[in-house]
Chain A
Amino acid sequence: MFKFNKIIFMIMLIMSSLISISAYSWFSMWLGLEINLLTVIPLFLKKSNKYPSESMMKYFFIQALASTLILYSILMSFNLNSTFISKFSIVLNSALLMKMGAAPFHFWFPEIIEGLNWNNTLIILTWQKLAPMIMLSYSMMNPTFICFSIIFSSIISGIQGLNQISLRKIMAYSSINHNGWMISNLLVSSDMWLFYFMIYTFISMNLIYAFKLFKINMIQQLMNILNYNKLVKISILLNFLSLGGLPPFIGFLPKWLTIYFMTEKTFLFLTNILIICTLIVLYFYLRLILSTLTFKIKESLIFSFKKMNIIFLFINSINFTGLILTSIFPI
C-alpha cells in the first residue's frame, strides 16, 4: 500500500535536518530540530500493535525536554550578552547529547528503539544524529565535558550491550559506541566526522536491510536464515565485523583515520580508552556471527526461503573491497 503521508513526512524530516544544519542563527537551528521531532513521530506509527505508540510517546517527551533545554540555554546566553557563555554551553551540549542518545543521557535510546520497526530504527540510528552532531560541533566550548561523554559512551555501550539478545538493542548499544567515536571525531576534525558518519550509515543500512528482509528480531533467529547459501550469509553478517572495525573491511577505515587524527592532536589516553572499549563491543558482534562461521552446525531447520537480489550482494561487496579501493583511489 502506498502511503502518501509517510512520503510527505519523510521529505519534511530530511528538510528539517537540513534546515538546522544550514541555519544561520541558533534559533532557526532549534526550529529545525522541532520540525524534525514533529515529523519523525508520525513515521513511527503502526496500527497493528501498541509498541510503536509507546515509543512515540517516550521519544516525544525526551526530545521535547532536550529542545526546551536547548531553547533555554540559547535564550539565556544570548540575552545576557551576545557571546556564548561556557556555563550554558554545558547545558546546550547536554541537551544535544540527549537528542542524539550519547552516553550519560542514553537511557531512553534502547528502550525506544526496541518498540520500532527496522526502517524507523535506521532513521533513529543514523539520520536523527546528523543535526544534533553538527550543532554540537558548533558549540563545543568545554572539551572536558565532551571527553567525559565520549568515555561514558564507549564504556557503557560495551558493558550493557553484552547482555542483550534483541538485535535492535544490540544495534542501539553499538550506535552509542559509535556515538563515542563520532563525537571524538568532532573534537579533532569535522571532515573525519562526515566520513565516519557516512561509513557508519552505510554499514548499518546494509545490516538493517538484511534484518528487515529476513524478519530477524532476536539473535537466535540469525542461526536459521539463509543456510542454503553460506556465502551470502557470510557476506551479510561480516558487516558486523566491519561495524566493529576489523581491518579487511571498510569499517576499519574511519577508525584508522580517527585514531590517526586523535593521535596527532595527542588525545592518547582518550584514544586508548575508545579502542579498548570497542573491543568489548566487538565481542558481542562476534557472538552474533559465530553461528555463521561455525560451518558444521545442524542445518535442518530452514525457515526463510526468500531469495537474495543481486544488488544487495553488490552493495555488500563494497564492505570487503572498500578498504582496498580507497587505498587505490586516495581521498
Chain B
Amino acid sequence: MMKFLFMMVFLTPLCFFSYWYLSLFLFYLSFLFIFMFNISKDYSFLSYNFGLDLLSYSMVMLSFWICSLMLLASAKIFKKKDYYELFMFNILFLMFSLFMVFSSLNFFIFYLFFEISLIPTFFLIIGWGYQPERISAGKYLLFYTLLASLPMMVGIFFIFKSVNSLDFYFLSLNLDNFLFYLCINMVFFVKMPMYLIHLWLPKAHVEAPISGSMILAGVMLKLGGYGLFRVMKMFLNMGLKINFIFITISLIGSVYMSLICLQQSDIKLLIAYSSVSHMGLVLSGLLTLNLMGMWGSLVLMLGHGLCSSGLFCLANISYERLNSRSLYLNKGLMNFMPTLSMWWFLFCISNMAAPPSLNLLGEVLLINSLIIYSKLTMIMLALFSFFSACYSLFLYSYTQHGLFSSGIYSFTYISNREFLLLVLHWIPLNFLIFKGEIFSVWI
C-alpha cells in the first residue's frame, strides 16, 4: 500500500518534465498493482487507515488503469502545449485521491478524498474543455455533488457520535430514520447518478475533454456504487422498507434514458446517457441487497467503466479528425477508417452486453437479482436490454455506415497510440470474463 502511495507522491516532479515518462510510469504502477493480486473478500494489505479487499482492489485497479489511459488519450494537450504540466499534475493528483478513496478503511477519510477527487475533475472540465458552456457544466458537477455531500458530513459525525468509530468494519448502526438514510445515501445517488438527479452528468460529459469524460464515466460514477456497497450495511432494515422507491426510479429511469439515447444527435451525449442508463441498473441491483445484486453490480461497474471509457475514446478520435461530435457529420466513417470501424463495433457490442464482455456477466447477474427481488421488474428489464441493444446499434450504424459527409477535410489515419489506447481498454473488458468468478463470486 505504502509503496504505491510513495510512488505517486514522488512522481510529482516528473509531471513538470516529461509527458511520456509519466505515462510510462503510470502504466508501470498499474502493472505493479496487478501483480499484487492475491486478494479475497477480507481486507488485506492493511496499514494505517488503508487496506484492500476485492471490491477496493478492483476499483483501485480500474482507477489506475483509466488514469494511465487518460494520459495516453490526451496526447493532443501535450502536442499543443496546452498547459500540459498542470494537466499531468491534475491527473496524478486525481489518481492519488482515487487511490485513497478506494483503499481507505475509515469513513471520514473516504469522504474527505471523495470530495478531494471532485476538485481535479472540476479543473479538468473547466481548464481543458472546449466550449464556453463548460463553465456551467463544471458548476453543475460541483454543486450537485457538494449539495448532497456536505449533509453527509453531518451524517458521518452523527455516526461517530453513536458508534464511536468510523471504521467501515464497525459500522453497525441500525437507525430506522429516513432523513439519516437520505443524508448518507443521497450523495451516492447523485454520484451514480440516479435518474432525476443525473442532470449534471450529460452536461459534464459533453463539455469535458477526453480525459475528463474518461475519468467521469470510468471511475467517478463508480465512487457512488462503491460508497453504497460500504454503507448499505447500516441500512439493512431501512433498506428493506424504502429501497423499492429508488429501485423503481432508477429502473424506469434506465428505460427512459435508453429512449433518450435513441434520439440523440451528439455522440458524446449518447454515450453519457447510455452510462446513466447502465448505472441505473447497477444502482437498482445494488439496492436489492441480495447476493447476486452485489456480485453483478461490481462486475457491471468494472465492465461499464472500461466500455464507456473506450467509447468516449472512440468518439474523441473521430472528434479530433472531423472536429464535430454530431452524428450527422460523423457518418460513413467505415469508408475512411475501416480498422477503427472494427473497434467501434467491438465497443458497441460490449456496450449492449454481447457475449465476450464483462457487461454480459454483470447484466445477467443483475437481471437475476432484480427478478428475485420482484417479478414486476421484468417488464423494465426487458425494455432496458432491448433498448440498450438498440442504441448501441444505432451508434454503430450511424457513425460507420452510409454516405460520408462532404464537408470533411483531409485528416491523418489512426496512429499506433490510438490503437494501443483502444486495445488496452478492450483486453481487460473482454478477457476478464474468462476468470469471471474472481470478480463475480466475491462476497
Contacts and interface: CB of A to CB of B under 8 A. Distances in A.
A275 B157 contact: no
A264 B160 CA distance: 9
Interface in A41-77: none
Interface stretch (A111-119, A160-168, A276-284): A276-284
Nearest to A245: B150
Interface in B175-203: none
A80 interface: no
A246 interface: yes
A256 interface: yes
A308 interface: no
B115 A247 contact: yes
Given A290-B135, A295-B127, A264 B161 contact: yes
Contact of A283 (B97, B139, B158): B139
Contacts of A278: 150
B86 A293 contact: no
B236 interface: no
Contacts of B82: 295-296
B83 A295 contact: yes
Interface in A275-310: 275-276, 278-279, 282-283, 286, 290, 293-296
Contacts of A295: 82-83, 127-128
A205 B139 CA distance: 27
B154 A263 contact: yes
A279 B146 CA distance: 8
A247 B119 contact: yes
B409 to A, nearest CB: 22
B390 interface: no
A272 B154 contact: yes
Nearest to B158: A263
Given A275-B151, A279-B143, A283-B143, A293 B119 contact: no
A259 B157 contact: yes
Interface in B420-439: none
Contacts of A185: none
A293 B123 contact: yes
A64 to B, nearest CB: 40
A302 to B, nearest CB: 17
A289 to B, nearest CB: 9
B111 to A, nearest CB: 9
A286 B141 CA distance: 13
Interface string B148-178: 0011011001101100000000000000000
B135 A294 contact: yes
A267 to B, nearest CB: 10
Contacts of B158: 263, 268
Contacts of A264: 157, 161
Contacts of A78: none
Interface string B109-121: 0001101101100
A282 B127 contact: no
Contacts of B161: 263-264
A275 B143 contact: no
A263 B180 CA distance: 13
Chain B interface mostly helix, strand, loop or mixed?
helix
Interface string B365-377: 0000000000000
A296 B130 CA distance: 9
B364 interface: no
Interface residues of B, number: 29
B126 A293 contact: yes
B150 A263 contact: no
A230 interface: yes
Contacts of A276: 147, 150-151
A248 interface: yes
Contacts of A259: 153-154, 157
Given A259-B153, A264-B161, A294-B127, A231 B86 contact: yes
Name the prevailing secondary structure of the A interface residues.
helix
B182 to A, nearest CB: 12
A246 B126 CA distance: 17
A38 to B, nearest CB: 42
Given A283-B143, A295-B82, A247 B112 contact: yes
B8 interface: no
Given A246-B115, A293-B126, A295-B128, A279 B157 contact: no
A260 interface: yes
A293 B146 contact: no
A247 B150 CA distance: 11
Nearest to A290: B135
A264 B157 CA distance: 7
B134 interface: yes
B116 A247 contact: yes
B142 interface: yes
Interface string B303-324: 0000000000000000000000
A271 interface: yes
A282 B112 CA distance: 18
Interface in A228-260: 230-231, 234, 241, 246-248, 252, 256, 259-260
> Which of B86, B118, B146, B160: most chain A Cβ within 10 A?
B146
Q: Could you say which of B83, B97, B118, B150 has the most chain A C-beta atoms within 10 Å of its C-beta?
A: B150
A248 B119 contact: yes
A160 B154 CA distance: 26
Of A241, A282, A294, the most chain B CB neighbours within 10 A belong to A294
Given A264-B161, A294-B127, A295-B127, A275 B154 contact: yes
A247 B151 CA distance: 15
A279 B135 contact: no
Interface of A: 230-231, 234, 241, 246-248, 252, 256, 259-260, 263-264, 268, 271-272, 275-276, 278-279, 282-283, 286, 290, 293-296
24 contacts: A230-B86, A247-B115, A247-B116, A252-B115, A256-B153, A260-B157, A263-B158, A263-B161, A268-B154, A268-B158, A271-B154, A275-B154, A276-B150, A279-B147, A279-B150, A286-B142, A290-B126, A290-B135, A293-B127, A294-B127, A294-B135, A295-B83, A295-B128, A296-B82
Query: What are the nearest 6 A-B pairs in CB distance?
Result: A263-B157, A247-B115, A275-B150, A293-B126, A247-B116, A248-B116
Given A259-B157, A276-B147, 10 more contacts: A231-B86, A247-B118, A248-B119, A252-B115, A260-B157, A268-B158, A275-B150, A275-B153, A279-B143, A279-B146
